Amino acid sequence: MKNRFFDLRLIIGYVLAHALMYFTFYDRAIFWYIFTGSLLVLITFAMFQEDVEDQASFFVYISIGAFSGILLYFIFWLGVQGFDLLNLPFEKSIKKLYRWFAPSLFWQYLALILVAAPGEELFWRGFVQKRLLRFFRPFVSIVFGALLYASVHIYSGTFTLMLAAFLSGLMWGALYLWKKSMPLVIVSHIVFDIMIFIILPLK
């Protein structure tokens, strides 16, 4: 672990992400407009701060990305089944999340795939996690990065979304550290989003 713990660019980026997500979740009626704009801002910020890594071949990042996205979906699916068996009060929360934030219009599905998934990975893994690695060991950087990723979802008003963001952040952070490939984690994120919002919603 390094002796210096001050990274102004990381702090600015993190504060910016919180500010943007606060306004994103402030009014659910215009959520998708603000969410899309916020991610475009974070993409621009991240691209000016860090280079985009791509150390995996096309076949590797497509295959591992798709497999990991499907795997993550089924981990979530098993979790929901477990909550049902234990009679834990998560069903209403999950339905509420879909009602509030799931895409419903064609342009929103495009924004989900072309802006939201790439934007979150470019910022949280390609910028935040990479800079955390300058100060912490890999495992700590992954966990800390996932916690920071989850923290901006506090404005959604639901613990379920924060937990989902933390768990998915752990997987995508580990994948990014393993293969050093931004396209891989973006593919994984896109496949996961397609599964959870289009093919087999959990509600």
Rounded CA-CA distance 153/172 in Å is: 17
Per-residue pLDDT, averaged over 133-160, amounts to 96
Residue 138 lies inside a defined structural domain of this protein: yes
Distance between CA atoms of residues 177 and 192, nearest Å: 19
- The whole-number pLDDT of residue 91 equals 79
Report if residue 69 sits inside a domain.
yes
Q: Note the pLDDT of residue 1.
A: 46
- Vertex 169: Cα angle to 32 and 41 (nearest 5): 40
Total domains in the fold of the chain: 1
With respect to residue 3, please indicate whether it lies within any of the assigned structural domains.
no
Does residue 118 lie in a domain region? yes
**Would you state the pLDDT for residue 203?**
74
Mean pLDDT of the chain: 94
Q: Please tell me the distance from the alpha carbon of residue 60 to that of residue 172, in angstroms, as a whole number.
A: 15
Residue 119 belongs to domain spanning: 8-199
Q: Is residue 35 part of a domain?
A: yes
Q: Flag whether pLDDT at 66 surpasses 50.
A: yes
Mean pLDDT score, 54-72: 95
Among 7-11, 88-92, 165-169, the range with the most confident prediction by mean pLDDT is 165-169
pLDDT of residue 81 exceeding 60, the answer is yes
- Residues 187-202 have pLDDT tens digits of 999 999 999 999 999 8
Distance CA 68, CA 30 (A): 31
1 lies in some domain: no
